[in-house]
Amino acid sequence: MRARISSRPSRNVDAPTGGARHKVNRLLAGALGLVMATGLGAVVGATATAVAAPSAASAASSVNGPISRKEVMDRAEFWADLGQPYSQTTWSGDPQGKSYRNDCSGLVSMAWHVDGSFTTGTFPGSGLASPLGSLHDLKPGDAIHKDGHMELFAFWKNERNHSEGAYVYSFNKDGEPVRSPNEENRKGNIGYNSWSDMSTYRAWRYNKIVDDYRPFDSFTGDAKTDLVIHNGTDVGVRKGTGSGFSDLGVVTSGWGRFHGMKVANGMGRLFYGDFNGDHYTDMIVHSGTDVSVRLNNKSNAFGGGTVVSSGWGRFHGMDVADGLGRLYFADYNADGYTDMVVHHGTEVWVRLNTTNGGFDGGRLVSSGWGRFHGMNVPNGMGRLYFADYNADGFDDMIVHSGTDVSVRLNNNAKGFTPAGTVSSGWGRFHGMDVTDGLGRLYFADYDGDGFDDMVVHQGTDVFVRLNNTASGFDGGRLVTSGWGRFHGMQVTNGLGRLYFA
């Protein structure tokens, strides 16, 4: 199991060269690497170190060429997974086998895919990166630099309050591996800088970096969806690895009456989304008329609840007495904060997250969906989902109509544009409580590539069909089994249900 990002800052350590302290920002490790080999000041007499490579990062870029923010971060994480210790006299390979020096500037050089390992002294004058006006302008894959040290910026601890510090990729101390924002290294350290630490740096941006990076979240704070299991009164989590799930155990209890209003003595239901923009999925509780949020504390648990919106007592589904519709939670405007989507009769409305503890008054974004409140509603034709099909950060509308799954792409938070049918043959996957039902569908990013995939819960098995970069889904693979009684408490012998968040 990988340790999640903690809230504690990493310790300041003396840099092996000249006493400057090394702290490398998580996502910055990719931004500085586009410096040319000439004038880089690579350390001479260094020895190359052969090691077994971890899983390869994406490789769309070429040396000294344009590179996406996602690839920069993938390359930095590649070195974090590699686990090589800091040393100015050893070198390690990138995913393509090109070698870079095992120090802070080597990490940034490698992540940016430049032709050589520049030094902290040669970097400012290399001409391959430009200084930013403010630290507040940093984006994933940019760099921070000061005399004797540099790091890769990953993301702010709180996008709306940068004074809480930032997560980084950092190569800090002799004998210690890269510090990652995603997990503690074997020395027990994680890539994090307090604001006072950040204030000692200047922000830089690689001149050929491509803005592609989208908001992401999961229970464990990375880009791969986790499996959340609501079993009776308990909620447990299995961390997504991209090749299955690893059990983290029970994270919260006391939710036995939150399996929906159709269940005897039901009080409401649970949702999951990143309410506060910190990349960690929070628990959203629809209880009676109120919607409350329990923030993810980044330590395998949720905090106490805070009511963020009220007046939703008739939005527990159209299959509930006097129901007017239902709620969803998705990022409509790609700002990293989950918004409230209200399916009210035939209309779909969005209430944007205000980023200060609530939602705004809303706007109508689509109409004509009166028969898409589920197949167990009279004359029902199917249901709606909201997920990022094309990896642009804006959650799209996915329509399960009869046997077909179609997509309406989010038009930069200005409604949805039809994009056609993307998969067929799902007529018996509208839930196990529908006649002849075999299971149900979900949509979530299983492999962390930014494209939400199709998750199929069929009987006891869960399959994933990977998104073919917004051109449909592949043939699928079995990823976990033993969930035959987790199609909802309203199904005979049901124990609970699954979420992917």
The structure tokens listed for 87 are: 């040393």
CA atoms of 54 and 37, how far apart (whole Å)? 26
Nearest to 456 by CA among 373, 374, 385, 392: 385
- Mean pLDDT (whole number) for 228-244: 97
Is the pLDDT at 7 greater than 80? The verdict is no
Per-residue pLDDT averaged across 87-106, rounded?
A: 95
What's the predicted TM-score (pTM) here?
0.69
How many Cβ atoms sit within 10 Å of the Cβ of residue 447? 17
Q: What band does 227 get if pLDDT is binned at 50, 70 and 90?
A: very high
Residue 331: what are its φ and ψ, rounded to 5°?
Answer: -90, 95
Percent of the chain scoring above 90 in pLDDT:
78
CA 440 and chain centroid, separation: 23
Q: What is the pLDDT of residues 158-195, one digit of tens each?
A: 777 899 999 999 999 889 999 999 889 999 999 999 99
> How far apart are alpha carbons 375 and 270 in whole angstroms?
21
Interval 44-61 mean pLDDT? 42
The percent helix, strand, coil of the chain (3-state, each to 5) is 5, 35, 55
What is the model's pLDDT at position 37? 27
Query: Which pLDDT band holds residue 344 (cuts at 50, 70, 90)?
Result: very high
Alpha-carbon distance of 207 to 36, in angstroms, equals: 12
Model confidence at 40: pLDDT above 50:
no
Q: Which of 19-28, 227-236, 321-330, 471-480 has the lowest mean pLDDT?
A: 19-28
> What is the C-alpha to C-alpha distance for residues 404 and 81, in angstroms, rounded to an integer?
40
pLDDT value for 41: 29
Task: Give which of 141, 192, 165, 106 is closest to 27, Cα–Cα.
Answer: 141
Cβ within 8 Å of residue 427, ≥6 positions away = 402, 403
What pLDDT does 59 receive? 55
Nearest-Å Rg of the Cα atoms of the chain is: 24
Q: Per DSSP, which regions of 274-324 are E strands?
A: 282-287, 290-296, 302-310
Q: Which residues of 180-194 are buried (b: 16+ CB within 10 A; e: fewer)?
A: bbbbbbeeebbbbbb
The pLDDT value given to residue 158:
78
Residue carrying the six token digits 């039809």 = 418
CA distance 280 to 101: 33
Q: What is the pLDDT of residue 213?
A: 64
Band of the pLDDT at 19, cuts 50, 70, 90? very low
> Which pLDDT does position 400 carry in this prediction?
98
**C-alpha angle 440-243-100 in degrees, rounded to nearest 5:** 145
Mean pLDDT of 16-38: 29
Amino acid found at 360: D
What are 208-226's pLDDT values in tens digits?
998 876 677 899 988 899 9
CA atoms of 19 and 13, how far apart (whole Å): 9
Give residue-wise pLDDT tens across range 403-458: 999 999 999 899 999 999 999 999 999 999 999 999 999 999 999 988 999 999 99
User: Quick check: 17 pLDDT over 80?
Assistant: no
> Contact 457/483 with Cβ under 8 angstroms?
yes
* Rounded-to-integer distance, Cα 143 and Cα 124, Å: 11
- Average pLDDT rounded to a whole number, residues 198-202: 98
At residue 29, the pLDDT reads 31
Distance in angstroms (rounded) separating the CA atoms of residues 463 and 481: 9
The predicted structure's pLDDT at residue 383: 98
Question: What is the distance between the terminal CA atoms of the chain, rounded to a whole angstrom?
Answer: 17
> Which residue type, as a one-letter code, is found at position 132?
L
The pLDDT-based confidence of 36 (bands split at 50, 70, 90) is very low
Using one digit for the tens of pLDDT, what is the confidence trace for 457-466? 999 999 999 9
Residue 32 reports pLDDT greater than 60: no
H or E element that contains 75: helix 69-82
How far apart, in whole angstroms, are the C-alpha atoms of residue 407 and residue 384? 10
pLDDT tens-digit readout, 127-164? 999 999 999 999 999 999 999 999 999 999 877 789 99
Pick left, alpha or beta for residue 90 (phi over 0 → left; psi -120 to 50 → alpha; otherwise beta): beta
Give the chain's domains with CATH numbers. 67-210 (3.90.1720), 227-500 (2.115.10)
Here the contacts of 183-190 (C-beta below 8 Å, separation 24 or greater) are 183/2, 183/3, 183/4, 183/5, 183/80, 184/3, 184/6, 185/80, 185/83, 186/83, 189/10, 189/11, 190/3, 190/5, 190/6, 190/8, 190/10
The pLDDT > 70 percentage for the chain reads 87
CA distance 464 to 449: 14
* pLDDT exceeds cutoff 50 at 46: no
C-beta atoms surrounding 419 within 10 Å: 15
Is residue 51's pLDDT more than 60?
Answer: no
